[in-house]
Structure 1
Amino acid sequence: MNIPQRVATALLSFMLISVVGCASSPKSEGAGEYVDDTVITTKVKAAILNEPMLKSREINVESYKGIVQLSGFVSSQPDIDKAVEITRNIKGVKSVKNDMRIK
């Protein structure tokens, strides 16, 4: 094996060991779950951004173990309902916690 292959093999081995060692507990999430939540958050933000009815800059999105929290300010109750509906339709979302307020 040449040096680049050895470095790549060592790096891959280290990454696999790191991921396997990152198990989740009830109060913390493992590396895989963190990545999943990041993907969910990104998908929800993109879906809300693509909805012309909503002012997405005023809606905050956070995810933890598939539970998505929406917070911020919107203009009306239909805006809240639409944001929650969009979020529920994203793959991987287990539940939605709505903390949005009408301004």
Structure 2
Amino acid sequence: MKHTAVSLALSGLLAFTAVGCAVTRDQSTVGEYVDDATVTARVKARFADDPTVSALAISVETLRGTVQLSGFAKSSTERNRAAEIARGTPGVRTVKNDIAIRP
């Protein structure tokens, strides 16, 4: 019984790992997917380190080096700072700033 539970857990982990590495329709390689995930993590980490930007209120997605920012900012200063941080992050080619300012 113990071995069955371990086997199920491992097969579930393997399935999760395989799904986690899936490449989306517009990406051509797993390498690009990993690069984009790295860029997203870098931008989010920089948001977390910046006192002006709320890392929880702003979402970051990356596709082939293009970073898309979305969510809500408290001011235009926060919105602009988020885009500035993203542009200055290694691996970012362009930034699409879709952050809305919350009234």
TM-score normalized by the length of structure 2: 0.73
The 4+ residue runs of structure 1 with deviation greater than 2 A are: 26-29
Structure 1, gaps ≥5 residues long = 1-23
Query: Counterparts of 2:87 and 2:69 in 1: how far apart (Å)?
Result: 11
Q: Percent identity?
A: 42
The one-letter code sitting in structure 2 at the alignment partner of 1:68 is: V
Query: Is 1:92 matched with 2:91?
Result: yes
> Alpha-carbon deviation of 1:96?
0.1
Encode CA deviations 1:19-52: one digit per residue, 9 max, x unaligned: xxxxx9x933311000000000000000011101
Q: Is the 8 A contact 1:29 1:65 kept in 2?
A: no
Query: Counterparts of 2:98 and 2:28 in 1: how far apart (Å)?
Result: 23
Encode CA deviations 1:26-82: one digit per residue, 9 max, x unaligned: 933311000000000000000011101111100000000000000000101011110
Q: Is the 8 A contact 2:27 2:64 kept in 1?
A: no
Match of 2:32 in 1: 33
Match of 2:45 in 1: 46
| RMSD across aligned positions (CA) | 1.5
Aligned residues, how many?
79
